[in-house]
Every structure is written in C-alpha cells, then in structure tokens.
Amino acid sequence: MTDRNATGAVRAAGYGALAGLLVTVPLVAIFYFADVLMGTPFVPFDVLDWAARNLPGGLITFAIDTMVTAITALQLGETSTAAKAAEQVMGIVGMILTGVVNAALFYYAQQRRGGRLTLQAGLVPGLLFGLPVALLSNAVNFTALTAPVVSFLWIVVAFCGWGMALAALHNVLFDDEPRKMATAEAAEAATPAAAVSAEALDRRSFLLRVGGAAATVTVVGAGVGALLRESGSTATPVRIANRGDGALPNADAAVQPVPGTRPELTPVEQHYRIDISSRPPVLEEETWRLPVSGLVDNPLELTLADLRGDFRPVEQYLTLSCISNRIGGDLIGTQKWTGVRLQELLARAGLQEDAQYLRILGADGFHETVDIDLVMADERIMLAYAWDDLPLPVRNGFPLRIYIPDRYGMKQPKWISEIEVVADYQEGYWVMRGWDEVALMQTTSVVDVVATDEAFIRDGVTYIPVGGIAHAGDRSISKVEVRMDGEAWQEAQLREPLSDKTWVLWRFELPFSEGRHRIEVRSVDGEEVPQIESVRGTRPSGATGIHGRNADLRLETEA
C-alpha cells in the first residue's frame, strides 16, 4: 500500500511538473503583457537582476565569463548584445523552471496527503512562490511605472491565480481518482492494461486542451505585448551639441586605415552596453534632476537644461572599454563625449572642509566613489550628456554619465541620479565584488584585419596590408609592432588618433608569403611602457596578453 502511494505521489509530481509548465508559461506572458500595457514589473528580469546583485561576485563573474565564451565560440554577434539577450532568456527560463518545480512539489504533497483540493489550497504554493518574487522585485525594480505597493500586490495576486489554476487542474486530473482506481482495480483481473490506458487517455486529452489554452494565452500575451511595445517606441533624438563643420580632429592624418579595420569613431548604436540590469533605467528629461548634496555649502538640484546651458560644454574624443573585455574583444568603443567639467560643478556647489569623496549613484542602484583630490587634479573628468552630438542613448546612460580618464568603465556610472559629497570612502559596486579598486586601463592592441584583397606590389614585392587598433587609456600609444609566425617584431605605422585618449589605428605592410600564418601585434604606451605580454584573464584588473590572427595568404588571380 505504502509502495503504491509512493509511486502514485511520484506520478503526481510528474503531472504537477507538466501542469506547472502549462500554467507558468502563460503567467510569464501575462506579466509581459501587463508590463507593456500598464508598466507593472516584468518579474523574470527582476529575479535575475536581484540574483546578479546579490550572489557572490566570483560566481557572477564565472557566469558572465562562461556566457562570453559561449557567445564567442558560437559567433552570436556583438558580445554585450548577445549577453544581454542570453541573460533575459535565463531569467525567463529560470522562472518557468521554478514554477515547474513548485507545482511538482505541490502535487506530490497533495497526493501524499490525499483528499480533495479546494481552490484556496492553491494559495499556499501561490504565496510561497509569489511573496518572495514580489519582495525581490520590489527590492531591485526601477523600470516599473506603477507604485511599489501596486506592483507588489499585482505580483502576489498573479501568483495566487497561478496557484489556484494549479489546484483546479489538479482536481480535474485527480479528483475522480478513487472511482477510477476502483474501476481500474476491478478491471485489473480482466484487462489491466486497457483500464490504465483509458485513464491515461482521459488525462492526456484534458492536458492537450489545457496546453492549447496555455499556448493561446502565451502567444496572444507575448505577441500583442511585443506589437504594443514596438509601436510605442523611439522618437528621433534632437541634436544638442554643435557639430561644427563635421571635420574630425585628425582629418589631415597621413596614415590611412587599412580597409576592414574597425571604424575609428564607433557608430553609437554599435557601441557595447554593459550594466547590471536586464533592462536599462528609462529616465525622463522633464522629471530628472541631479542633486549634489552632502558636504557642500550650496546643495544643487540641476536639470539637464542647466547642465547644458549654465556650464561651458567640453568636448573630448574618448575610448571607453569594459574591464571584462578580452584580448581582441568588442567591449570597447570610441565616441565624441560632450559634457561639463566636474571641477566647475563642484566649485558651484562649494565643497566643505571635510569633503573627501564623491559618491555617485546610478538610477539602477550602481554606485562608485571618486576621490575629490583626483577631480581637482584632472580637469578632463566630466559629466557627459552627449555622444557624437546627440543625447546619450538610454542604454548608454541617458541623461548623464561620468568620464574619468584612464579607468575602465566599471569606475564610471551611467544614469547618474545623485552625487553625494562625503568624508568617507566606500567601495564601488564592482570593487565590492572583487574587481580592481583603481581599474587603470591596460595597454592593449588588436589585429583587426589581414587584408588579402588589398594586396599591392611595390618595387617588385607583394605586400598585404594589416591593420588594427592599440589603446592605453589616456597614456597614448608610442609604438606598435607586428610579427609573423613568431619572427622578429617590426614597427607599424601609426595614424594620428582622434585624441590622446582614444585608440590609435595602425597599419603594417606585410611582405607576402604563401600559406597559413599567424600575425601578432604588441604596443608601447606614450610613457614608453610596453604592454604586458603575459596572458592574464579579465578578473580582477583587465586582460593582458598579445593578440594575433591566423590568415591564409594566397593571391587571387593577378591582373
């Protein structure tokens, strides 16, 4: 008898898992639909974001690292975009799996307990699942338009509905179990297989119908949601800085990039995006303010118009890189940044005697601490509101982000929501999670292209142009060298860069020799310090090592 109960319970858990799938998938679709329609939280992303903020830094880094490796290996395109998509899928799949497990446990427990389920009994798994999710969502969500209480209640109610739907399904699947069992037992002597399969058929056709309904809700919810989202998006941004005559500062540079080298100025929509949330905070210019508070004589509360109008705009061509960028990776990009000098802003606020640090908060909960001595010593540190003369894109920090020369992106908050002047140092978001406290940019260089289709002949020798970038924070690049198959290093030509803070494009003319070769690059920064050649991973201080590319050199039919 106990044995039979146990098998029954395991079988019930199996049905529970299936029912869980059929109820949780539409629930996710409903959350999505409500998010688009009313701005309630999309909870699968919130749970993932909560995990990303609260699980140990090493584990998160490992997860990101694995993801980047997979994206690179499977060639899924630009790393940060693919990683964000993978993250979002993980959030959704995670929520569905949790729903499946919870439902399986619910059915299992019910089978062991026996008896009939009331609909209200579904409130137990509903609340067990829904309350923690609602709490996590409330803790991290910053994208919802609804008030936190409303969001919280909506999530709890939705999960209660989820639990009651499971209870209802359970009753249809198992309610007449005793009768069926009795029939089955009676029939067992005659045709046991027939009795069992009739019962199974019954359940199967019922589950099929539920599956159809679940699929309908999911497709309609997700589809209509996606359509609504599409139609609600994107006005063209208004140019806010003066483009001047449009000429780049290095327009007269003598050295031309090898075709196939990445663009010297990264198209803004191709610039990587790295941050701690599934979806970026969307801040409105009308309501956004920058409070400068704490140890200041005149606390400020600035609008974007104040920042653009009351301060002298500063323009700088800059290369930004993520500390998680691998050797040769794409988490690096160059734009013209426009903003205000942080020194000027602090002068207006009036620092008090004991002011030591700036605590800079992002609207997503990200934060960093900047030493005021550093700001006072470096007038290039700025609060930027434009990239390439347009307002910052939402994903890259609209309306305001900081620039600190020579530091990886992890030190430079986007979506700034507050600057607090304080006396005490506090570790920043990624520093707390084990990354380098200073995060100076490593010198790095990359072979972008071995341009076999650009081969040319000079003095009877055939050359293949090779090109790429080299970058060393604000230290500039003094030398780039290239070698083939581990032979002697030879100096490449350097193109005059957009600024001493951007990458340098280089070109090298490689004497042709047929066959498969390895072409490598290394560089020396403007302070005559060579890049570190020994291979080290991104954590904790940024990757080092030299980049190379294999190329099959063979000449097309010569004209």
Q: Which amino acid is at 112?
A: R
At closest approach, how far in Å is the CB of 257 from Mo ion? 26
Of the candidates 153, 144, 168, the one whose C-alpha atom is nearest the C-alpha of residue 35 is 144
Q: Does 281 bind Mo ion (CB under 5 A)?
A: no
Residue 383 in tokens: 């609060």
In contact, 508 and 492? CB cutoff 8 Å: yes
Residue 509 in tokens: 């003319």
Q: Does 31 bind ligand MTE (CB under 6 A)?
A: no
Question: Which residues touch 264 (CB under 8 Å, ≥6 apart)?
Answer: 248, 250, 257, 334, 495, 498, 502, 503, 505
In contact, 27 and 99? CB cutoff 8 Å: yes
Nearer to Mo ion, 27 or 322 (CB): 322
Percentages helix, strand, coil for the chain (3-state, rounded to 5) are 40, 20, 35
In contact, 369 and 357? CB cutoff 8 Å: yes
At closest approach, how far in Å is the CB of 505 from ligand MTE? 20
In contact, 521 and 448? CB cutoff 8 Å: no
Nearer to Mo ion, 44 or 333 (CB): 333
Q: Does 403 bind ligand MTE (CB under 6 A)?
A: no
H or E segment at 67? Answer: helix 57-73
> CA quadruple 134, 137, 142, 143: dihedral positive or negative?
negative
Buried b (16+ CB within 10 A) or exposed e, 326-361: bbbbbbbbbbbbbbbbbbbbbebbebeeebbbbbbb
Q: Does 441 bind Mo ion (CB under 5 A)?
A: no
Q: Does 25 bind Mo ion (CB under 5 A)?
A: no
- Tell me which residues in 381-410 interact with Mo ion (CB under 5 A): 409-410
- Tell me which residues in 415-474 interact with ligand MTE (CB under 6 A): 415
Q: Cα–chain-centroid distance for residue 481?
A: 34
Q: Segment near ligand MTE (CB under 6 A), from 56-64, 273-281, 373-381, 492-500?
A: 273-281
Binds ligand MTE by CB under 6 A, chosen from 110, 396, 442, 445? 396
Give the angle 424-429-432 at the CA atoms, nearest 5°: 75
Binds ligand MTE by CB under 6 A, chosen from 32, 45, 152, 366? 366
Q: Segment near ligand MTE (CB under 6 A), from 38-46, 257-265, 410-418, 513-521?
A: 410-418
What residue 364 binds from ligand MTE, Mo ion, none (CB within 5 to 8 A, per partner kind)?
Answer: ligand MTE
What does the alpha-carbon distance between residue 470 and residue 477 come to, in Å, rounded to a whole number? 7
Q: Which amino acid is at 212?
A: G
Q: Does 547 bind ligand MTE (CB under 6 A)?
A: no
Binds ligand MTE by CB under 6 A, chosen from 409, 428, 497, 545? 409
H or E segment at 387? Answer: strand 382-387
Total chain residues near ligand MTE (CB under 6 A): 19
What does the alpha-carbon distance between residue 23 and residue 6 come to, in Å, rounded to a whole number? 25
Residue 325 in tokens: 């960028």
At closest approach, how far in Å is the CB of 351 from ligand MTE? 24
Q: Does 322 bind Mo ion (CB under 5 A)?
A: yes
Q: Segment near ligand MTE (CB under 6 A), from 404-412, 493-501, 520-528, 549-557?
A: 404-412
Q: Does 385 bind ligand MTE (CB under 6 A)?
A: no
Nearer to ligand MTE, 71 or 222 (CB): 71
In contact, 504 and 476? CB cutoff 8 Å: yes
What does the alpha-carbon distance between residue 507 and residue 256 come to, in Å, rounded to a whole number? 8
What does the alpha-carbon distance between residue 522 and residue 477 come to, in Å, rounded to a whole number? 11
- Tell me which residues in 295-354 interact with ligand MTE (CB under 6 A): 320, 322
Binds ligand MTE by CB under 6 A, chosen from 61, 335, 412, 443? 412
Nearer to ligand MTE, 218 or 412 (CB): 412
In contact, 410 and 427? CB cutoff 8 Å: no
Q: Does 273 bind ligand MTE (CB under 6 A)?
A: yes
What residue 128 binds from Mo ion, ligand MTE, none (CB within 5 to 8 A, per partner kind)?
Answer: none
At closest approach, how far in Å is the CB of 329 from Mo ion? 11
Q: Segment near ligand MTE (CB under 6 A), from 129-137, 154-162, 358-366, 459-467?
A: 358-366
What residue 448 binds from ligand MTE, Mo ion, none (CB within 5 to 8 A, per partner kind)?
Answer: none
Binds ligand MTE by CB under 6 A, chosen from 187, 265, 276, 422? 276
Q: Does 413 bind ligand MTE (CB under 6 A)?
A: yes
Q: Does 318 bind Mo ion (CB under 5 A)?
A: no
Query: Which residue bears the tokens 């600057």?
Result: 419
Residues facing residue 524 across a β-bridge: 479, 530
At closest approach, how far in Å is the CB of 480 from ligand MTE? 24
Nearer to Mo ion, 83 or 121 (CB): 83
Q: Does 274 bind Mo ion (CB under 5 A)?
A: yes
Q: Does 217 bind ligand MTE (CB under 6 A)?
A: no
- Side by side, which strands form the sheet with 290-294? 300-302, 290-294, 416-422, 357-362, 367-371
Q: Does 99 bind ligand MTE (CB under 6 A)?
A: no
Q: Does 539 bind ligand MTE (CB under 6 A)?
A: no
Total chain residues near Mo ion (CB under 5 A): 4
Nearer to Mo ion, 414 or 495 (CB): 414
What does the alpha-carbon distance between residue 146 and residue 154 come to, in Å, rounded to a whole number? 10
SS3 104: helix
H or E segment at 449? Answer: strand 444-450
Q: Does 364 bind ligand MTE (CB under 6 A)?
A: yes
What residue 332 binds from Mo ion, ligand MTE, none (CB within 5 to 8 A, per partner kind)?
Answer: none
Residues that bind Mo ion (CB under 5 A): 274, 322, 409-410
Residues that bind ligand MTE (CB under 6 A): 271-276, 320, 322, 362, 364, 366, 396-397, 409-410, 412-415
